[in-house]
Structure 1
């Protein structure tokens, strides 16, 4: 299940829904079979993560209740999105209580997923002549998630300088290198400016971890790759600068101009109802009314979100909703930092590798959410929750055959 989710999320149209449903069903079955061991195997950090997921979901569901409208996600794809964090919590609960995750499944999954995304993007761009390849989905989540998978391929190359069990061989190291390049290629070809703004931060995060294990020359090479000049990237960034100049001169019809208009409209909405927000449907109705009055560019009415997770959540669910979103971002980030430090104490690079993966996932989605409401997109939300749960289940109690090292309330199998 872990391998399939990582490898096929961007490949098959319904993978974002079918694989999580199977994961939930498996987790519930595990809970029924192993219900007597749930409390014994659940750590305090697991409870914290479950609270974070539950509160985010419950506040979103309360917003649905007061407005009687369900969000359907970007391009009307995805259903019952507010329930998904609760289902992710059920998966975490079931897997941490009964399932021993196998580390190579994670590394093979991210490598194959990034390779397939790169192959699809290359085929659509170079063979079919599409300007922004997307595999039949929104090009922005496609490029962003491909970039994230490619970055995750770098983590074991930076931290794990020894064989990872019988599966970590020269073949897998080669697959990870190719996966990293393929993920970056898919992001470049998809034309996602936001992803390439985030990637230097991800590269710095991975490089900072690599300073402890890699020669400085390799670290500098990694940073150079993050900032490498590529024609598509330069063109898209140059286009963004031109859009910004046009916006300052009164032009609001460009890609960046429409985003700035949406953020300006979101700030106006927030000032009117800061505590509880406008709610599902009501936000769009009020925004469109202001558009009719001539306050904003009519182009922003084409979208069902404000292209920024923080602005959209604050305008839609107010300060309370924003608090749950920030908890969903930064509480897991603190937990992964804690796992990283615990891995350092016991000298376990494997624990550190999974903790670094978790931090990369959170930082990536925080950055992606600055220019796109990734958590209102079906594949974006599914990808974030799935990767977050897998990283927590793997790093919080890293279970690989071998030595068991007790660490307070945790039992890290390294």
Structure 2
């Protein structure tokens, strides 16, 4: 083997660990921080292509690749090939495919992933504190916007909390402290962003996560997990009780105003107006939708005819992921988005059969990876109720590459655990043989 190739082979695991740290770790620290880890993993995938292209591909990898291709086709159909700038989004999905296959061939460790999540959550909280208490901004926005920033901060904090609770005995003290602080700082950043859609997603997600943990964790570990979760949420609620209650009361008032007078010039009201308009427009062209340009033209025409409030012109999307896909690309677009939720959810869902099939020594870590995958997908489903998350680079890249990393880590864990088990059996057999 040539020396250059040998050196590359030895550096691949370290490079993948670095990428696993960078994707969540830099996502909110820097402008376009979510792109740095993605670009690094793409470079590694291109350099290692001769190795991973010959590897056997699991059915779960093909399923995720198909879901990604479906979304790439959706974005291409929405914009067409004529708009070169609009090809940016489908290009990200195509670029994620070699990374998915490389990480399925050689995935990161569980520790590398959660160290990155902790770093990302600490950074999100630090920036939020700086922006609100030093720069005196009314809402923390990071380097994106308040909604994207708040929702991704919440997700990072939640993932830290899950890793801490489910793997408490596995982590050394410094990692427990890092994850506990990351959970607090990530959720704190979400609250300082005052992004209510993330809180709605959390309310929908927590019962599912609690049920899965109750089903698959021992009673002793479950008590520790529940205590950690409740302590974190209680600390945050007490810390920011006043702004939290104010935002909730405002949302209730704006909802009541829209129901009584169709007042659309509020944060909640214009979302209701968008949803109504998108649904009606989608029913007019249910199969293939209006397309991007057609949607904007018809929206303008509806406002001019007095059939939609002027507030809908301030935004280029319908503030709901599935409705936005439906109005732009009809049922085909809506199904592509739903599949992009459903396929990863099916891949990661921790059934009893999957848990029993995992090597005993790695069963808890495998469950935690699956739990994180479920949390990622369901959080995006919740975010998508009030925001079109996939219309933003941060939403696309974080979802794509965290899916690939969590899936790769799950396969790598199974592979290394089986190898260790096999080596242990061989060693015991050799000890049993007569000299």
| TM, length-normalised to structure 2 | 0.84
Residues 124 and 233 of structure 1, relative CA distance in 2, 3 Å threshold: same
Q: Choose from 126, 133, 144 the match for 1:126.
A: 133
State whether structure 2 residue 211 is matched by structure 1 residue 208: yes
Counterpart Cα distance in 1 of 2:345 and 2:142: 31
Higher alpha-carbon deviation: 123-132 or 169-178? 123-132
User: CA offsets, 1:61-80, max 9 Å, x none?
Assistant: 133227x44675xxxxxx61
The corresponding residue for 1:325 is 337
State whether structure 2 residue 101 is matched by structure 1 residue 90: no
SS at match of 2:413: coil
Q: How many equivalent residue pairs? A: 392
Counterpart Cα distance in 2 of 1:71 and 1:203: 39
State whether structure 2 residue 242 is matched by structure 1 residue 231: yes
The corresponding residue for 1:314 is 326
State whether structure 2 residue 22 is matched by structure 1 residue 4: yes
Counterpart Cα distance in 1 of 2:418 and 2:196: 44
Counterpart Cα distance in 2 of 1:170 and 1:19: 27
Higher alpha-carbon deviation: 214-223 or 256-265? 214-223
The within-5 A match list for 1:38-187 is 38=55, 40=56, 42-65=57-80, 68-69=82-83, 80-97=88-105, 99-163=106-170, 168-187=171-190
Where do 5+ consecutive residues of structure 1 fail to align? 73-78, 407-414
Counterpart Cα distance in 2 of 1:178 and 1:387: 21
Residues 274 and 290 of structure 1, relative CA distance in 2, 3 Å threshold: same
Q: Superposition RMSD on alpha carbons, in Å?
A: 2.3
Q: Choose from 291, 294, 301 the match for 2:306.
A: 294
The corresponding residue for 1:75 is none
Give the conservation status (yes or no) of the 8 Å contact 2:24–2:34.
no
Name whichever structure is richer in helix by fraction. Answer: 2
| TM, length-normalised to structure 1 | 0.88
Q: Choose from 182, 187, 190 the match for 2:193.
A: 190
The corresponding residue for 2:257 is 246
Counterpart Cα distance in 2 of 1:222 and 1:338: 20
Counterpart Cα distance in 1 of 2:210 and 2:415: 25
SS at match of 1:326: helix
State the Cα distance separating 1:339 from its structure 2 match: 6.8
State the Cα distance separating 1:399 from its structure 2 match: 5.7
SS at match of 1:80: helix
